Amino acid sequence: MNLNAIDSELLKTIADLHTIPTGAFNIRKDGRGVERKSTAHIQVKPKTDKPGIDIIVAPGTKNEAVHIPVLITLSGVTDVVYNTIEIGEGADVTVVAGCGIHNPGSEKSQHDGIHEIIVRKGARMKYVEKHYGEGEGTGERVLNPRTILIMEKDSSVEMELTQIKGVDSTVRDTKAKLAEGASLIIVERLLTHNRQKAESDMLIELEGERSSARIVSRSVAKDDSIQIFRPVVVAKAASKGHVECDSIIMDRGKISSSPAISAEHPDAQLTHEAAIGKIAEEQLIKLETLGLSEKEAEDVILRGFLQ
């Protein structure tokens, strides 16, 4: 596959890829799979009944990564894709997903990624997903990821979900079910600007004893953008959960955060916190006393906050 300059830039931004990856991968562009590779332990194959792929990581696979970036470089594309990822027993792998839209025209370009992820007994997965939009056109850039995560006994998952910038509208829906001893960390970072709108719903169900989840959402709403967060953790067993939403609001932005916890077992331990506020004045002042301009100081604080 030949990557043009736009493809390369997008890949670099959403997947830290500078060339075609060495391990297993699948690159999807403008609604079609353009290239893929399986390795000895990681199988990547297209679905036969609907658009999308199955990724099967063999039990015990260690220190391998699979990249599954999605690129949209045309205006007026609506791409719906179903991916199933199975991480075999005792494996320890990284999955780098992500979607970059370069919309050059005036029509809407949209990607709806529906992921079903099963993490088998004792397996570990790090899941990194970056969303990014750009393009000189006026067409909307829309990303609606839907993720269903099934975690078996003693599995562990760390998810980093990031929306860097340039996505006009996003509705995220993340659901997870955790069995005994499973542990989940989700870190969501979101920046919206202009008239963008971002909604994120999460439902994390702690079904097994000793399971634990920690959900951290950090966001910045600039200009006239709107953000809505509704993370919910439900404990159905003796388990632990924590939800945290921390947002910086700027300009005429609007943010609504409603983390919720619900316990259905007397030994559940759940906490939540939410904060929305402007950049603390003293932080700006401190950086200005070190010689930064107000704008530079603001950038440093926002970058740090979303890091």
Interface ranges with another protein (CB under 8 A): 218, 246, 280, 282-283, 285-294, 300-301, 303-307
Query: Which lies closer to another protein via its Cβ, residue 238 or residue 284?
Result: 284
From the CB of 283, what's the least distance to another protein, in Å?
A: 5
Listing DSSP states for 20-83 in one string gives S-SSEEEEEETTEEEEEE--SSEEEEE-SSSSSEEEEEPTT-EEEEEE--EEE-STT-EEEEEE
- CA distances 106 to 30, 74, 75, Å, are 16, 10, 7
Count the Cβ atoms, other than its own, within 10 Å of residue 253: 21
To another protein, the closest distance from the beta carbon of 187 in angstroms equals 12
Dmax of the chain from CA atoms?
Answer: 61
**Angstrom distance (rounded) from CA 25 to CA 127:** 14
Shortest distance in whole angstroms from residue 229 CB to another protein: 17
Beta carbon of residue 295, minimum distance to another protein (angstroms, whole number): 10
Cβ–Cβ under 8 Å, residues 55 and 15: no
Shortest Cβ distance from residue 304 to another protein (Å)? 4
Q: Nearer Cβ to another protein, position 267 or 296?
A: 296
Nearer to another protein, 20 or 285 (CB): 285
- Least gap, CB of 298 to another protein (angstroms): 12
Q: Which is nearer to another protein, 220 or 237 (CB)?
A: 220
Q: What region, left, alpha or beta, does residue 11 occupy, with left being phi > 0 and alpha being psi -120 to 50 degrees? A: alpha
Residue (251 or 294) nearer to another protein, CB = 294
For residues 45 and 286, which CB has a smaller minimum distance to another protein in the complex? 286
If phi over 0 gives left and psi between -120 and 50 gives alpha, with beta otherwise, what is residue 8?
Answer: alpha
Q: What is the dihedral of CA 9, 15, 21, 26, to 10 degrees?
A: -100
